[in-house]
Amino acid sequence: MIGEEICRLRVRNSSEWITHFEENAACQRAVPWYQGAGVSAAELAEIADSLRGWQLGETSDGSHLFTAACHYAKAIGDPDFVGAVRLFIAEEQRHGRQLGRFLDLAGVPRASEDRGDSLFRFVRYSVSRMEVWATPVVMVETHAMIYYNAIRRATKSAVLRRICEQILADEVAHIRFQCERLAILHHRCSRWRRALTMRLHRLLFVVITIAVWTGHRRALRAGGYDFARFWKSAWGKMRFAWRMMSPDIYCWNDTPTTGQSSRRPTLGRSPA
């Protein structure tokens, strides 16, 4: 059982996450750029506008997140966390570059602004606390698991399908990275505060889920997700993420950011 496996693990420390991101960067799937975009006009009609908006969201320079991470790392005495966040941002930016290159190949202009992306950035930038940064990131990335699966199913382009496959693989670790950080932040919180936080999480998740569907429903439908399936999938993946960010499922014998692991934990898989 997935839950039983998680209960035997502890959070990875920042040094371990640096190792993960470095190793992942060195073993990326090869994208067959030589084949060209390989996408039909009919496929582009369904997904192009959505891809433009999502690509913009992946191209953030990460400066606000990096600044918040530096302040947080200094406060808790974990300088390696800065390096882990730097590599996390680089991985997201790689997604943006690859999606942008695909749009260029397909002759689709890149977006300079997007309402959904602007809303997401507003939520993140409103407060500099690490928890406020990590929470919406987890929620958007759970939707990204659905979104890129839909895009992969909506096209026969070998290039776009390979990009989606890599992003989906990367997002599993991204969700784990953010959820573990939230588990650390919630570890010393009282039960009532954690319960209140989860209620606020659910409210925010409803808003984000509706926003993603509103902005990308045409592409999602092209990939086989009507609203009912999208809603069910989003909540299923987010329930998995909430379980991953619960302090109750981890062992806290070691300091979570600096302790040494007796075995290298696996990342696990999000439910389909």
CA dist 257 → 10, 13, 19 (Å):
10, 4, 14
Q: How far apart are CA 139 and CA 183, in angstroms?
A: 15
Q: How far apart are CA 8 and CA 267, in angstroms?
A: 12
Q: What is the pTM of this model?
A: 0.86
Q: Which CATH number fits domain 12-24+42-248: 1.10.620.20, 3.10.270.10, 3.10.20.90, 3.40.190.10?
A: 1.10.620.20
Q: How far apart are CA 234 and CA 217, in angstroms?
A: 13
Q: What is the pLDDT along the chain (272 residues), one digit of tens a residue?
A: 444 444 467 789 999 999 999 999 999 999 999 999 999 999 999 999 999 999 998 887 777 888 888 999 999 999 999 999 999 999 999 999 999 999 999 999 999 865 665 555 555 555 557 887 888 889 999 999 999 999 999 999 999 999 999 999 999 999 999 999 999 999 888 888 888 989 999 999 999 999 999 999 999 999 999 999 999 999 999 999 999 999 989 988 744 444 333 334 334 444 34
- Residue-range domain boundaries for the chain: 12-24+42-248
Packing angle, helices 63-76 and 80-105, rounded to 10? 160
Q: How far apart are CA 88 and CA 20, in angstroms?
A: 10
Look up residue 73 and give its two tokens: 């790392």
